[in-house]
A and B are shown apart, each in its own frame.
Chain A
Amino acid sequence: MIPSRKAPTPLAGIRVLDFGHILAGPYCSRLLADLGADVVKVESRSRAEGLGRTRLGPGYKGRRDRSPHMLMTNRNKRSVTLNLKTPSGVDVASRLAAKADVLVENFSAGAMDRLGLGYDDLRAKNPRLIYLSLSGYGHDGPRRDWTSMNLNLQAYSGLMMATGAEDDPPTTVTASWNDYLGALHGCVAVLNALAERTATGLGANLDLSQFESSVASLGALLLASSVNKSVPPRLGNRARDVAPQGCYRCAGRDEWCAISVRDDRQWQDLVSLLSEIPELRDQRFASLQGRLAYQDEIDASIERWTIDRPPAEVEARFKAAGIPAERMRRTQDILDDPASGRFFEAIEDPPGHRPLMTKLPFTFSRSSTAEVSRSPEIGQDTTAVLRDWLGLTATEVQQLESNGVLV
């Protein structure tokens, strides 16, 4: 959103109308904002989004009406307030959509249609509009109305049964993994549709399913099951093409080091490094085939060496021997390590408080990405956006305001 003094951003001049809520939609529009689009978040004071979603502990130093999740997902956006329960509010939204390049929404299927803001309602006025829906299951099919949440998508996509070792219970990652995956797919679809629009002059109706995004990320497993009529074995931390590979317990509470031996040479280096464990010199382990077959034995032997050593030492010794190793890091370790967190940046919000923002994890040599700016106050840009996008005068905005449309 903020024009850079450097090179232009990829989406300079692109207008995004953002009806996203919770995470998948707002994260997708945040990616577009980081790429330089003018993202206008439509919200309502009567249903302020992103509050209450987090239980803010007593130690939270930011403003309690602005949760840290909201600051993270809404930064680099502008905010307008519209009362979509009034016909005039819907009319303003529809006029904004007529001026937008992209609309992002992640309500449940049919919700935007019921408001009169579905793709078919808006296309007539703006055939160039790219309309991204990011519902849980898509807008058709027998389960379109299923309510979805991140953990349910981790479950239903097959991720929980693909993660962990054979006979482990279902296993999750404590992160809204599937919201992010859906949003990333949505962002790619929008960027591609923008390029296609240059050629065709036409927008697109992108009815993306978060569920399908998650299933696709594991597409090879589904394909294997389809042909083999069986579930591929769960590998835990192991791999099919290298051995040994695993997380080995180190000294300390819940301390681990990941180690991955890529080839026979690295295996010999490991055997030399762990010279006090003679069992590893077994000739059965000299080839990949043997190491894959006897990995239980090998793992137990390696762990005898790692278990009394701090993870940083294990990592350092393996790395020095040329064997890939990384200790399990917690977030705080990353924040404390100058070599990590290259794409985190602190901003001041509110004054005196400096939350970290996550940026796009890549660099362009020629384009720039948007500077990180603070999340808007609710409705702070209503007047400016109605002026910039719709050409409304101050008097006209006041009229809407007094009619209760802009709350």
Chain B
Amino acid sequence: MARIVDLTGHAGAYCCRLLAEMGHDVIRVEPRRGDALRRLGPFLGDKPDPESGAYHHFLNAGKRSITPNLACTAGRKLLLELVATSDAIVGGQPLPLAQEDILAAKETLVIVRVDDSLPELCAYARSGLLAVTGHPDRQPVLLGGHAAYAASGAFAAVALTAALLVQQTTGQGQVIDLSVQDCLEVLGEQGVIAATETGEQFERRGFRGAATAISGAFRCADGYAMLSVAPSQENWGRFMDWVQDPVLAADESLADEAERRAKKDFVIDRLERWTSSHGKEELVLQSQAMHTPAAPITTSLDLVEDPQLMARGFLRKVEHPQLGSMMSPVGALASLRGFQPGLAPRIGQHNSDILSELGYSTPQQESLLGSDAI
């Protein structure tokens, strides 16, 4: 088990959460008033409070919290003592401590510096992904839920776990530099292929798929479902048996994928008359029963009771002393080992524990906790 000092902003927080999901000791270092992530809504219970931010609760789950005052020498000294017992430090650029001081405290440390100097939307715009997110002829849009930060955090976790492996075998640490914008840029590689190799039109497609003529979001009685028809004639026949639309069934030319592409708007309009009188789950279950790819277009509320997530143990009921009972996602990596990360820490919740681990006696702790240092 590695010890990771977590000084990240939003862009790197998912990296450290992934390490916590795998059982590592992740210590979040934050100011006494709590870090910015705590003040980002939505809030659990809809009450704006640094102890109830949803991003804080999810991204800091399984971590410990300590609040050294980095504005004073004693606080910085304390952080360096913590660094000396750690294997890695993950933070923004620049880090709040000088690199030579960090390396003097622990020469073999892995240091990850996540450059998040651009706001998420600006990094997304610069990366090329904004141009392909959204609906044609409308404003392009940032991925929701700060998913772009989760992706850069996942890349940071790849780099960090690779460097921890090197550290384990060679005893050497190193510095890793990564920026949100570069992570997003490389995730646009299919756009690079389109622009340089195939000449495909890579553009915003709203909710229509590109692989087959008839694929995408269809309006249902209670939302939307993703449905698609594979190109073969046989698939169209099976689809028509399911849909039972007399107008479409009468047009034999539609058995041909190219014809369907040519008459796409008409076909989709007819199909939506049918789908809009059915529930999304019902349609998806029927489509899957025919081994045709389909999925409900869910909101986060739909997922709270998702049967697949519950059966796999990805969603678990947890009791929070202040917030009560909630369904909590354990995470994709914790799910692999049947592990459930602990609750996100309160501000400075582990100050005493960590001071004890660093060898501070009870009187020493009391004097530190009463000072500016923490």
Question: Residues on A close to B: CB < 8 A?
Answer: 10-11, 31, 35, 54-57, 59-62, 68-69, 72, 137-138, 140-149, 151-153, 155-165, 168-177, 180-181, 184-185, 187-189, 191-192, 194-195, 198, 204, 206-209, 211-213, 215-237, 239-242, 245-247, 249, 254, 256-260, 262, 324-335, 340-344, 355-356, 358-367
Q: In the complex, what residue of chain B is closest to A61 when comparing beta carbons?
A: B197
- Establish whether residues B139 and A237, one from each chain, have CB atoms under 8 Å apart when the complex forms: yes
- Which of chain B's residues 142-179 have a Cβ closer than 8 Å to chain A? 142-147, 150-151, 154-159, 161-166, 168-169, 172-179
- Establish whether residues B217 and A160, one from each chain, have CB atoms under 8 Å apart when the complex forms: yes
- Establish whether residues B332 and A209, one from each chain, have CB atoms under 8 Å apart when the complex forms: yes
- Establish whether residues A188 and B44, one from each chain, have CB atoms under 8 Å apart when the complex forms: no
- Establish whether residues A225 and B209, one from each chain, have CB atoms under 8 Å apart when the complex forms: no
Known: A344-B192, A364-B162. 12 other contacts (CB 8 A): A68-B197, A142-B311, A151-B215, A156-B295, A163-B144, A169-B207, A172-B207, A188-B333, A194-B165, A208-B332, A209-B335, A247-B125
CA distance A181 to B184 in the complex (A): 12
Q: Is B55 an interface residue (CB 8 A)?
A: yes
B18 smallest CB distance to A (angstroms): 6
Q: In the complex, what residue of chain B is closest to A157 when comparing beta carbons?
A: B298
Q: In the complex, what residue of chain B is closest to A245 when comparing beta carbons?
A: B121
- Establish whether residues A10 and B166, one from each chain, have CB atoms under 8 Å apart when the complex forms: yes
- Establish whether residues B297 and A155, one from each chain, have CB atoms under 8 Å apart when the complex forms: yes
Q: Which B residues are CB-close (under 8 A) to A148?
A: 293, 295
Number of residues on chain B facing chain A (CB within 8 A) = 136
Identify the interface centre among A56, A246, A262, A363: most chain B CB within 10 Å of its CB: A363
Q: Is B336 an interface residue (CB 8 A)?
A: yes
Q: In the complex, what residue of chain B is closest to A236 when comparing beta carbons?
A: B141
CA distance A330 to B40 in the complex (A): 30
- Establish whether residues B226 and A365, one from each chain, have CB atoms under 8 Å apart when the complex forms: no
Q: Is B323 an interface residue (CB 8 A)?
A: yes
A403 smallest CB distance to B (angstroms): 34
A107 smallest CB distance to B (angstroms): 15
CA distance A144 to B312 in the complex (A): 10
- Establish whether residues A198 and B168, one from each chain, have CB atoms under 8 Å apart when the complex forms: yes
Could you show 19 A-B contacts with beta carbons less than 8 Å apart?
A10-B163, A142-B311, A158-B303, A161-B144, A161-B300, A163-B144, A169-B135, A177-B151, A181-B151, A195-B161, A208-B333, A217-B154, A222-B303, A222-B327, A227-B326, A236-B141, A343-B182, A361-B182, A365-B175
- Establish whether residues A173 and B122, one from each chain, have CB atoms under 8 Å apart when the complex forms: no
CA distance A155 to B40 in the complex (A): 25
CA distance A69 to B191 in the complex (A): 11
Q: Is B14 an interface residue (CB 8 A)?
A: yes
Q: Is B351 an interface residue (CB 8 A)?
A: no
Q: Is B57 an interface residue (CB 8 A)?
A: yes
Q: Which B residues are CB-close (under 8 A) to A61?
A: 197
CA distance A33 to B77 in the complex (A): 40
- Establish whether residues B139 and A249, one from each chain, have CB atoms under 8 Å apart when the complex forms: yes
CA distance A205 to B303 in the complex (A): 26
Q: Is B31 an interface residue (CB 8 A)?
A: no
CA distance A101 to B189 in the complex (A): 29
- Establish whether residues A169 and B193, one from each chain, have CB atoms under 8 Å apart when the complex forms: no
Q: Known contacts A192-B161, A224-B54: does B331 contact A362 (CB below 8 Å)?
A: no
- Establish whether residues A147 and B291, one from each chain, have CB atoms under 8 Å apart when the complex forms: yes
A350 smallest CB distance to B (angstroms): 13
Q: Which A residues are CB-close (under 8 A) to B255?
A: none
Q: Known contacts A329-B126, A329-B128, A361-B178: does B186 contact A206 (CB below 8 Å)?
A: no
